C-alpha cells in the first residue's frame, strides 16, 4: 500500500482525495468531527413506532414451543 492520496472521497466531508494517513477521512479535523457526531448521538438508526423491544413477543416468535 502506498501513502499517496486515495481516489475515494472523505467519509465525512466527501472531498477528494481521502488521505491514507487519516483513512477513511481527508484530515484529522474530519476524523474528529465524525467522532464528535457519534458521541453526540447525531447518527441514529430509524425505528418503526410499532417496534417495541420490551414487548412480550418478538417478530421472530412463531408460536411453537420448541426447546
C-alpha cell at position 34:
465524525
The total number of structural domains in the chain stands at 1
- Residue 66 included in any domain: no
Confidence of residue 49 (pLDDT cuts 50, 70, 90): low
Quote the mean pLDDT of the chain. Answer: 77
- Residue 6 included in any domain: yes
12-36 tens-digit pLDDT:
999 887 778 888 999 999 999 999 9
- Residue 27 included in any domain: yes
Rounded Cα gap, residues 46 and 5, in angstroms: 34
Rounded Cα gap, residues 10 and 21, in angstroms: 12
What size, in residues, is the chain? 67
Is the pTM higher than 0.75? The answer reads: no
Model pLDDT, residue 60:
66
- Residue 47 included in any domain: no
- Residue 51 included in any domain: no
Owning domain of residue 31: 1-42
Amino acid at each position: 500500500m502506498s501513502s499517496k492520496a486515495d481516489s475515494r472521497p472523505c467519509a465525512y466531508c466527501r472531498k477528494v482525495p481521502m488521505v491514507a494517513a487519516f483513512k477513511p477521512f481527508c484530515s484529522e479535523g474530519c476524523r474528529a468531527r465524525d467522532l464528535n457526531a457519534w458521541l453526540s448521538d447525531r447518527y441514529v438508526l430509524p425505528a418503526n413506532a410499532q417496534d417495541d423491544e420490551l414487548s412480550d413477543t418478538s417478530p421472530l416468535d412463531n408460536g411453537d414451543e420448541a426447546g
